[in-house]
Structure 1
Amino acid sequence: MKLMIQATVAHGADVRELRLRHPEGAALPAWPAGAHLKLHLPQSDGYSLIGMPGETQEYRIAVLKDAKSRGGSRQVHEQLAAGQTLEVEGPFNSFPLKLDAGRIVLVAGGIGITPLHAMAHELNAQGRDFELHYLARSEDRLVLLDELRALPHAQIHLHLGAAPPDLAALLGPYRPGQTLHACGPVPLLNALREHGAAQGWPAAALHFESFGARVDAQDRPLRVHLAQSGISLDVPLGTSILDALIQADQFVAFDCKRGECGQCWTPVVEGEPVHRDVCLTPAQRAGGLCTCVGWARSAELTLDL
């Protein structure tokens, strides 16, 4: 569908909010907490909806300007303006709010606050008390904080600085009915998973959404060999292995493209994979990788495709 940019709002130097409406004022599809839109910029990039879930007059998204992005965030910051129209898909929801009767913990790392912003509004509307732990390198990187502080059922804890907080203490021992929802960089999510498991948190109580594929400073361009088809692909930095496979007309099942669902898991025949997903078990990682976010320490990687 086509939506018009009603307004743009700056949140500090690096985050820009877009407020989107139907060009003719029609109602928009209702959406649940955790949902996202896909904007064609011209690539299909997903951005979490913020604000009160169910809002049908206006969609809000907040986008971090990322120098390592494939272009979507730069276009939002440098080229889009009020009055323009965008091609939009969704809303979609691969990160639903799943609640039980006990303690509710939300953990946001940086711009990972966006899906949790909507969850916080939903929980507040339900009258559910909850903890929100917001991690950022400095105070000027905290966005949407005033809106969150206005929610009476929110217990907000700010964790500033490069060093992570004591995640074991943050989680505490598992008690029946507790749930965790977290969004942020993959290392933060993996650490939460490890500390949770060590304190008895079952996998069903831990819910994660990541930022998707990121380029690490140690990454190098990768040559990928497909053992079954005999094809070799040169994958540059900034392009995922999955996208390179799609561009080469090689079939791979996929869904989220953020390392959360495991649909694009592919067996590795040779090479040293780097895992950046938040969904695979140790056994799955031992035999393959998620091509949407995975990379390799070795210069070459052979997949069973």
Structure 2
Amino acid sequence: MTSNIDNTLIHVTVTRREDQTDEIAVFDLSAADGNVLPAFEAGAHIDVVLGPELIRQYSLSNAPGSSSYRLGILNDPNSRGGSRQIHAELKAGAEVQISAPRNHFPLEMDAEHSLLIGGGIGITPMIAMAYALKAANKSFELHYCSRSEAKAAFLEELKREFGEQLVLHFDDAGDTGRINPKLLCAEAQPGTHLYVCGPGGFMDWVIEQAKAAGLPDKQIHFEYFNAEVDISGEAFEVYAEASDVTVQVGPNESIATALKAAGVKVQMSCEEGVCGTCICDVIEGIPDHRDHFLTDEEKEDNDQIALCCSRAKSARLVVDI
């Protein structure tokens, strides 16, 4: 089975909590045993373990090289429990387990110019990227899109640290203040790379606009943390070779759910096809990819599948779990 997860957990303490808006809290984490936390690169995220079946991913928002980890977490009204629990329970002094940092959203440091676009809480990885680019004396712009100034966290820090490189876009300021990704990309110098994170619909729109402006796919980078998934489709059979278990996956059932019901241990986290925790090797059959984690090239290879959301185009799949 392909594993994207380092199972070694780190025990950390919340050394500071600051509620910066009525919806966003910022948490500083340090190792509970006083040791130095593992180094991280811009774009990295960690898993926060909130319970046996409740693991959530959050981007690190401070400058790479920092001695602590900083998270900005939205108390999402559509939360499946993670953010609500964090906002309710993680006060200063609280302890929690996390994973080591992982980075599926790295910076291309050789880019001629970088456009960093954060929508809402999607600003968090962009802050770390802006710090890395500033430290390397690279050309970049940091665009922060929010419903209003009152809903935007980190503002004073961003204004202080990034000055003219920071461009603020508030919905309540009217059309003149709204971001125009197509124009930004059309006017960008050759070799510009775009990075975007935020709500799924916002990201889809920015990516579509960037492509319409002619920015090559390889210069468009993104990371989904929430996504709508459609697990419906025709029933099919899955044989878990390592476990020697065969299951029927129903029309509105995920492969992971069917396997777990049959006693197969499946590692899962997001359950939305964005984190990669449940990625598994495909030995036989053709996957119907529904995830936002695998690249287009990886999907074309058809040798991996996200068990939490993807289905099968063939009547039978054989997977290595």
Correspondence 1:146-161 to 2 at 5 A: 146-152=156-162, 155-161=165-171
Letter in 2 for 1:54: G
Q: 1:26 aligns with which of 30, 35, 38?
A: 35
- CA contact under 8 A between 1:124 and 1:151: conserved in structure 2? no
Structure 2 CA distance for partners of 1:133 and 1:227, relative to 1, 3 Å: same
SS in 2 for 1:28: coil
Seen in structure 2, the aligned counterparts of structure 1 residues 214 and 265 have a Cα distance that, compared at 3 Å, is farther
Which position in structure 2 is the counterpart of 1:48? Answer: 59
Q: Which residue of 1 aligns with 2:76?
A: 66
Structure 1 residue 197 corresponds to structure 2 residue 211: yes
Q: Residue 202 of structure 1 aligns to which amino acid in structure 2?
A: P
Q: Distance in 2 between matches of 1:26 and 1:142?
A: 33
Distance between the aligned counterparts of 1:75 and 1:255, measured in 2? Answer: 15
Alignment of 1:176 onto 2:190: yes
Distance 2:119 2:183 in 1: 17
Deviations 1:70-103 (A, max 9, x none): 2111111012222221111111111111133422
What are the Cα deviations for residues 6-31 of structure 1, in whole angstroms up to 9, with x where unaligned?
12110111111121112232211111
Question: Would the aligned equivalents of 1:63 and 1:73 in 2 still touch at CA under 8 Å?
Answer: yes
C-alpha separation in 1, matches of 2:143 and 2:225: 17
Name the structure 1 match of 2:120. 110
Q: Deviations over 1:251-270 (max 9, x none)?
A: 9899986537795799578x
Q: Give the unaligned 5+ runs of structure 1.
A: none
- What is the alpha-carbon distance in structure 2 between the residues aligned to residue 91 and residue 197 of structure 1? 30
The equivalent of 2:6 in structure 1 is none
* 1:75 aligned partner: 85
Superposed displacement of residue 115, structure 1: 0.5
The equivalent residue for 2:151 is 141
Aligned-partner Cα distance in 1 for 2:315–2:164: 46
User: Relative to 1, partners in 2 of residues 1:59 and 1:186: Cα closer, same or farther, differing over 3 Å?
Assistant: same
> Quick one: distance in 2 between partners of 1:108 and 1:293?
27
Kindly provide the amino acid, as one letter, of the partner of residue 274 in structure 2: G
Q: CA RMSD in A?
A: 3.9
- Structure 2's unaligned 5+ residue stretches are 1-9, 239-245
The two structures have a TM-score, normalised by structure 2, of: 0.74
Matched AA of 2:57: G
Q: In structure 1, what residue type is equivalent to 2:205? A: A
Residue in 1 that maps onto 2:202: 188
- The answer (yes or no) to whether the contact 1:224–1:302 under 8 Å persists in 2 is no
Say whether the 8 Å CA contact 1:120–1:148 is kept in structure 2.
no
- Partners of 2:293 and 2:179 lie apart in 1 by 20
Question: Which runs of structure 2 are paired with 1:117-136 in the superposition (5 Å)?
Answer: 117-136=127-146
In structure 2, C-alpha distance between the alignment counterparts of 1:158 and 1:211, rounded to whole Å: 22
Aligned to 2:26: 17
Counterpart-to-counterpart distance in 1, 2:49 and 2:296:
33
Going from structure 1 to structure 2, the CA distance change for 1:30 and 1:194 (only over 3 Å counts) comes to: same
| 8 Å Cα contact 1:16-1:63 kept in structure 2 | yes
Aligned equivalents of 1:132, 1:171: Cα separation in 2: 14
